[in-house]
Structure 1
Amino acid sequence: MTPTENKISIHNLIEKRWSPRAFSDTTVEQEQLETLFEAARWAPSAMNEQPWRFIYATKEDAEAYERLLSCLVEANQVWAKNAPVLFLSVAKTTYDFNGNANKHAWHDVGMATANLVLQATELDLHVHLMGGFSADTAREVLGIPEGFEPVSMGAVGYVGDPETLPEQLKTRELAPRQRKPLSQIAFNGNWEQK
């Protein structure tokens, strides 16, 4: 498999962003974590609701870390357990000003998470986002109240040695990055799928 060719210049943070599975055991400093969440805080949102919340834990707090790790499906636990930081993003599902459903909350949490990921890239950290987790377990073990929905989980850290991964994951780790052609995702004027 050949890597996707990048024919159009994009910002180096976007191009450099990568989701590894092999993480080193190097600690992510508290100041760096605060910078990631500060970047998330500045994301745009519908009606400026800022519906994102994040629950995170570092390996230094083993009990909190294990609670987050227990939310992941087993296939993700295999490699994510080596990341020095785990987090869960959560969406507040209603608007503060009128109590109505916020149909854009998950989108806005995604915007905040994208800011977090790009800030991590700037700090030479990497984030691997995961949909493979149990929202029910997260609600239970993390005490998430009504009106809030778990969205995704992430592992944060420095890139580690792919040799530490099981063979199937190592193969995926070393595979070239792939992206769909622009013509399949951006349509001028109306829906055109070829």
Structure 2
Amino acid sequence: MTVRQSDHPIDPQFLTRWSPRAFDPAEMTEGQVLSLIEAARWAPSASNHQPARFAWGLRGDAGFAAIHDGLMGFNRVWADKAAALIVLASKTFVDKEDGPAANSWHAFDAGASWMSLALQAQAMGLVAHAMGGFEAETLAPALGLPEGYQIHVVVAVGRQGDVADLPEKLQAREMPSLRRPVAEVAARGRFPA
């Protein structure tokens, strides 16, 4: 397995969190999902607009099936084993006295919500895998997404399973990924070349 090491001291939660695709058949409760969403709703938000919105389902229910039907390609193959699927969207506008105005930070805020959800999942002994491989035009009407909202990711959540249960072509990818060195992504007083 890949051993992750930081360039500088950080809390271990950032090195141990990763996005597996192999899920154990163990079920989750509604309360567990709501704890994940509770953590996500406390994420930082520009001007406290709180644009993040969630639709979710537990494996075996109609919500899970509707979300799963909106997945693309190989995501359909492994995500059906997750205990829950959560769709994260955000409100792209803010309500002002003179009418709606664009919220330039909605996607940034949604990203903060995703990270809060992922870290809460890890704290609960669960794993979370965010996917961009979905059909928004399928999910939006199936989940009643209001106009002026944008879907960002579908998150599969559950207990980590056995890599041998994945299709062979996915098994080799089932390990924590590394990150670029700090010196490659940050520089004092300027962006790195």
> What TM-score do you get using the length of structure 1 for normalisation?
0.93
In structure 1, what is the equivalent of residue 76 of structure 2?
77
The aligned amino acid for 1:124 is: G
State, as a whole percentage, how many aligned pairs show the same letter: 39
In structure 2, what is the equivalent of residue 121 of structure 1?
122
Cα distance in 2 between the residues matched to 1:25 and 1:78: 14
- Structure 2 residue ranges without an equivalent (≥5): none
Cα distance in 1 between the residues matched to 2:181 and 2:129: 23
Alignment of 1:13-32 (within 5 A): 13-32=13-32
**1:24–1:157: 8 Å Cα contact kept in structure 2?**
yes
Is the helix fraction higher in 1 or 2?
1
Cα distance in 2 between the residues matched to 1:51 and 1:150: 11
In structure 2, what is the equivalent of residue 134 of structure 1?
135
Q: Is 1:154 equivalent to 2:155 in the alignment?
A: yes
Cα distance in 1 between the residues matched to 2:146 and 2:122: 31
Cα distance in 2 between the residues matched to 1:34 and 1:116: 10
Count of residues paired in the alignment: 191
In structure 2, what is the equivalent of residue 170 of structure 1?
171
- Structure 1 residue ranges without an equivalent (≥5): none
Aligned pair in 2 of structure 1 residues 119, 149: CA closer, same or farther (>3 Å)?
Answer: same
In structure 2, what is the equivalent of residue 191 of structure 1?
191
> What TM-score do you get using the length of structure 2 for normalisation?
0.93
- Post-superposition offset of 1:43: 0.9
In structure 2, what is the equivalent of residue 106 of structure 1?
107
- Post-superposition offset of 1:7: 3.5
Runs of 4+ in structure 1 over 3 Å off = 1-5
